Amino acid sequence: MKTLDVSVVTPDGPVLEDQFDMVSCKAENGELGVLPGHIPMVAPLSISSVRLKQDDNDSVSLAVNGGFLEVRPDKVTILAQSAEKPAEIDVQRAEEAKKRAERRLQSQQDNVDFQRAELALKRAMNRLDVAR
């Protein structure tokens, strides 16, 4: 069976390089599933998890903080602001970030940057989902 070469890269360097049967992720315009032979494309990614399927039921999840997905027929490259494997996620730190962001969003203060707080909340919740 054909596979996809998958590279996940951040400004800090490569996070993962391996072969997978399928890549599933959330682009800004909806869910994407990529199989070998997919048409070439580039799509902006949302703050979400990326699921990489290997064999029949073996899969890897990554918490991805935005970026881009580049698809070629035999290769998928994900260029992300950050990408973390479940074992690398500090759950306590993510819980604290989630609580901080929720407090900011509820505070009703004029000096709070609500868009920034919302993004922080999304990142924290995504990290917690992937870690669990």
Average pLDDT over residues 15-26: 94
pLDDT higher than 90, residue 64: yes
Average pLDDT over residues 48-66: 89
pTM score of the predicted model: 0.85
- Contact of 80 with 67, CB cutoff 8 Å: yes
Residue 132 has what pLDDT?
A: 84
Average pLDDT over residues 45-70: 91
Residue 9 has what pLDDT?
A: 96
Average pLDDT for the chain: 91
**Alpha-carbon span 125 to 83, nearest angstrom:** 14
pLDDT higher than 70, residue 1: no
Average pLDDT over residues 90-98: 93
pLDDT higher than 80, residue 3: yes
Give the chain's domains with CATH numbers: 4-84 (2.60.15.10), 89-131 (1.20.5.440)
- Contact of 95 with 121, CB cutoff 8 Å: no
40 by Cβ neighbours in 10 Å (0-12 / 13-18 / 19+) ranks as exposed
**Tens-digit pLDDT profile for residues 110-121:** 666 888 888 888
